[in-house]
Amino acid sequence: MLLSKLVGQRSKDNPADAMIRSHALMVRAGFIKLVANGIWTLGMPAKRIAQKIEKIIREEMDAIDGQECTFPVAMPRELWEESGRYFSIGEEMVRFKDRNNRDMVLGMTHEEAAVHFARDNVVSYQQLPFMIYQIQTKFRDEARPRGGLIRVREFTMKDAYSFHISQEDLETYYQRVYDAYTRIFCRIGMKNVVAVKSDSGMMGGSISHEYMLLTPVGEDTLVLCKQCGYKANMEVAECQPDTVRDSVSQEPEEVFTGDVKEIIEVSRYLNVGAQKTIKAVSYNIKGDTRLVVCFLRGDLEVNEAKLKKAIRKDIVPSNLSDSEKLVAGNIGPLGLKLDDAILVYDASLKEANNMVVGANKANYHIKGIDVQRDLDIKEFYDIAKVPEGARCKFCGAPLGISHGIEVGNIFQLGTKYTKAMGMTVLNKEGASVYPVMGCYGIGVGRAIASVAEERCDDKGLNWPMAIAPWHVYLCPLRMDDADVREKAFNLYDALRAAGTEVLMDDRDASPGCKFSDCDLMGIPIRVVISPRSLSKGEVEIQLRDGSLKTNAKYDACIGVIQDIIKNNM
């Protein structure tokens, strides 16, 4: 490719809305262009990276017996009614009416389509297991697209669906996918990827893992144990309870706390640690007037994902002042009278004594509460976020908190979809059973952005050889020099004829301009031809990552370049 004809201008200006480096650099390099909020055009370089990632994904999916299909982007409402998700998914799913006034949706995931395709086609256990997948456009109407290709509304995703006669068979296959994913991220060139246990959210099912690229700009929070290797998304992370029970329980005593309401202020006002207070956090059931009031230690935070699981309901933030029966800032578990609120007590309270709680009247709290003695709590739930330094549930070592970008996920779905959509097969004994499903996703655009984020530097992008848009940036200096020009074009043609992917900077531009564009675009190998290098019959070869800088004879440089590509692939 000749740079002079490549559509996509390089720029020195960071886009105003770019909060992370990869976003700014992908735009500045001319790889992507914003069309609407969360909707991008991929220019040729980004498309080439995407295709290389897709090829790696495809090879690994085919290696675990995947059958590549294409499910529709637009689907009829009826299909999503069968699974129940037409109603359970909110406004992140695009709905529209076709010309005949029929309700349609844009696919954000394809469990329904996969079951629809498989259910009449597969009738016997002998046809199981199988996995069908696609690499295809999806639309998810994200409330807050951000980070360039990290979080978008329209994206290309590999989504795979496996079908099994039993949970055991699913688990065997799940491990194969787990390993295939590890290979994929390794081949793509991502280094700091870990698989963490996750909440399966709207997908249903139980066991699931997210593949997380560890990076400070990641929007997911992860809990990691360096000692035993425990890894989990904060949404489902657990730790050992660390409640310290005082040897002597004091008696309850009402104390005046006046205007002091925030738990951190109460703790300071009464001169007790926040871990000796019980705070109340309230929500509303989604689409309902009922309150959910959570009690947990004052130094902990509610983990809303865990809370939702505990009460099996969706929640929305609540404003306590709306409720006449509650005294905001003074809510406590002792003597709290609410008609139909759901009260949830965190496991951190189970052993606690000498706690400060709200008195359920203005200006007062109560000291000296012993949870077991004073409160009649039937069940405790783990609804708190794991704090940094908490002890690992498995080995007791202090847990660390990291951030990550979710670059892939795998789910054990169970029979949720096959049951809902009436897909059965005959088992060995001739009985009708629902196949057990797994589903497995990787976002292609997010993978591009994640690699970019992990590897970029102050000068620009820096692609691994395996997914670089081109391997070689051929950089003739002084295009007005006839010899340089001729030798450059000859080398360009020879490299292409030898199957090497080369971008030639054929512009009449300064060396500085050419070098900085080469660095910005992140092409792994820079080959410079100049009057000076040619005077020695040579070209200058340099790797973008700084690991190599050498000269090679012009006449022999193709072999040298091809060896470098091979050794860095």
In the complex, the residues that contact a second copy under the rule CB under 8 A are: 1, 4-9, 30, 33, 35-36, 39-44, 46-48, 50-51, 65, 67-76, 79, 91-92, 94-96, 98-99, 102, 104, 106, 113, 116-118, 120-123, 126-127, 130, 132, 134, 136-137, 139, 141, 143, 153-154, 156
Check if the beta carbon of residue 395 is closer than 8 Å to that of residue 227: yes
Between 40 and 463, name the residue whose CB sits nearer to a second copy.
Answer: 40
Between 6 and 274, name the residue whose CB sits nearer to a second copy.
Answer: 6
CA 36, CA 566: separation in Å to the nearest integer?
39
Between 43 and 443, name the residue whose CB sits nearer to a second copy.
Answer: 43
Between 141 and 545, name the residue whose CB sits nearer to a second copy.
Answer: 141
Question: At its nearest, how many Å lie between a second copy and the CB of residue 332?
Answer: 39
Check if the beta carbon of residue 31 is closer than 8 Å to that of residue 43: yes
Question: At its nearest, how many Å lie between a second copy and the CB of residue 440?
Answer: 16
Question: At its nearest, how many Å lie between a second copy and the CB of residue 35?
Answer: 5
Between 12 and 312, name the residue whose CB sits nearer to a second copy.
Answer: 12
Which tokens sit at 137? 């456009």
Between 48 and 209, name the residue whose CB sits nearer to a second copy.
Answer: 48
CA atoms 474, 476, 479, 481: torsion sign = negative
Question: At its nearest, how many Å lie between a second copy and the CB of residue 58?
Answer: 9
Between 117 and 489, name the residue whose CB sits nearer to a second copy.
Answer: 117
How many CA within 13 A on the CB side of residue 125? 12
- Spell out the residues 6+ positions from residue 219 whose beta carbon is closer than 8 angstroms to its own: 151, 403, 405
Question: At its nearest, how many Å lie between a second copy and the CB of residue 29?
Answer: 12
Which tokens sit at 313? 């309901």
- Spell out the residues 6+ positions from residue 288 whose beta carbon is closer than 8 angstroms to its own: 313
Check if the beta carbon of residue 110 is closer than 8 Å to that of residue 84: no
Check if the beta carbon of residue 104 is closer than 8 Å to that of residue 113: no
Question: At its nearest, how many Å lie between a second copy and the CB of residue 568?
Answer: 24
Closest C-alpha among 306, 92, 108 to residue 199: 306
Question: At its nearest, how many Å lie between a second copy and the CB of residue 91?
Answer: 4
Question: At its nearest, how many Å lie between a second copy and the CB of residue 483?
Answer: 23
Which tokens sit at 421? 């959509």
What ranges make up the beta strands (E) of 508-548? Answer: 525-529, 538-543
Question: At its nearest, how many Å lie between a second copy and the CB of residue 443?
Answer: 14
Q: Could you give the C-alpha distances from 424 to 124, 163, 165, 355, 360, in angstroms and in order? A: 8, 11, 10, 55, 55
- Ramachandran angles phi, psi of 310, nearest 5°: -65, -40
Between 67 and 550, name the residue whose CB sits nearer to a second copy.
Answer: 67
Q: Which long-range contacts (CB under 8 A, 24 or more apart) does 106-109 make?
A: 106/73, 106/74, 106/75, 106/138, 106/139, 107/71, 107/72, 107/73, 107/74, 107/75, 107/138, 107/139, 108/138, 108/139, 108/140, 109/138, 109/159, 109/203, 109/439, 109/441
Q: Note if the bond before 129 is cis, omega within 30 degrees.
A: yes
Question: At its nearest, how many Å lie between a second copy and the CB of residue 177?
Answer: 16
CA 482, CA 503: separation in Å to the nearest integer?
20
Between 327 and 437, name the residue whose CB sits nearer to a second copy.
Answer: 437
Residue 411's SS3 state is: strand
Count of beta carbons in the 10 Å neighbourhood of residue 546: 9
Question: At its nearest, how many Å lie between a second copy and the CB of residue 495?
Answer: 16
The tokens 């995931």 sit on which residue? 109
Between 30 and 404, name the residue whose CB sits nearer to a second copy.
Answer: 30
Between 55 and 290, name the residue whose CB sits nearer to a second copy.
Answer: 55
